Amino acid sequence: MTIRTVLIGLGWSGREIWLPRLLARDDYEVVAAVDPDPARRAAFTAATGRPAFAGVDGPLLADAGLALVAVPNHLHAPIAQSLLERGVATFVEKPVCLSTAEANALAAAEQAGGGPLLAGSASRYRADVAELVRLVPELGRLRNVDLAWERARGVPQARGWFTNRAQSGGGVLVDLGWHLLDVLEEVVGPVSFDQVTATASDDHVNDPRWSAAWRHDLPATDIQVDVEDTVRGFLVADTGLSVGLRASWATHSATHDVTTIRVEGSEGTATLRTTFGFSPNREPRPRIVTVRRGQVGEVPVPVEPIGTEYDRQLDDILRRLSDPSSRGLAIAGVRRIVTTIEAMYASAARPPVPAASIATAGVTS
Residue 299 three-state SS: strand
Q: Which residues contact 365 (CB under 8 A, 6 or more apart)?
A: none
Residue 342 contacts residue 100 (beta carbons within 8 Å): yes
pLDDT score for 245: 98
Helix or strand holding residue 313 (H, E) = helix 308-321
pLDDT tens, residue by residue, 264-278: 999 999 999 999 999
- Topology of domain 3-122 in CATH is Rossmann fold (3.40.50)
Is-same-fold flag (3-122; 123-310+343-347)? no
Q: Which residues contact 93 (CB under 8 A, 6 or more apart)?
A: 9, 13, 68, 69, 70, 76, 120
Residue 174 contacts residue 95 (beta carbons within 8 Å): yes
Query: What CATH number does the domain located at 123-310+343-347 have?
Result: 3.30.360.10
pLDDT score for 210: 85
Residue 156 contacts residue 216 (beta carbons within 8 Å): no
pLDDT score for 365: 36
If we measure between CA atoms, which residue out of 210, 193, 213, 212 comes closest to residue 201? Answer: 210
Task: Give dist(CA 159, CA 236) in Å, integer.
Answer: 34
72-79 LR contacts (CB < 8 Å, sep 24+): 72/9, 72/11, 72/161, 72/167, 72/168, 73/98, 73/161, 73/167, 73/168, 73/169, 73/174, 74/98, 74/166, 74/167, 74/168, 74/169, 77/102, 77/105, 77/106, 79/8
Task: Give dist(CA 19, CA 31) in Å, integer.
Answer: 11
A 10 A CB-CB count for 352 gives 8
pLDDT tens, residue by residue, 118-166: 998 999 999 999 999 999 999 999 999 999 999 999 898 755 788 889 9
The domain limits of the chain are 3-122, 123-310+343-347
pLDDT score for 181: 98
DSSP string, 79-118: HHHHHHHTT--EEEPSSS-SSHHHHHHHHHHHHHH-PPEE
A 10 A CB-CB count for 60 gives 18
DSSP string, 209-231: GGB-GGG-PPPP--PPP---SEE
Task: Give dist(CA 263, CA 276) in Å, integer.
Answer: 17
CA 93 to chain CA centroid, Å, is: 8
Residues of the chain with pLDDT under 50: 358, 360-365
pLDDT score for 59: 78
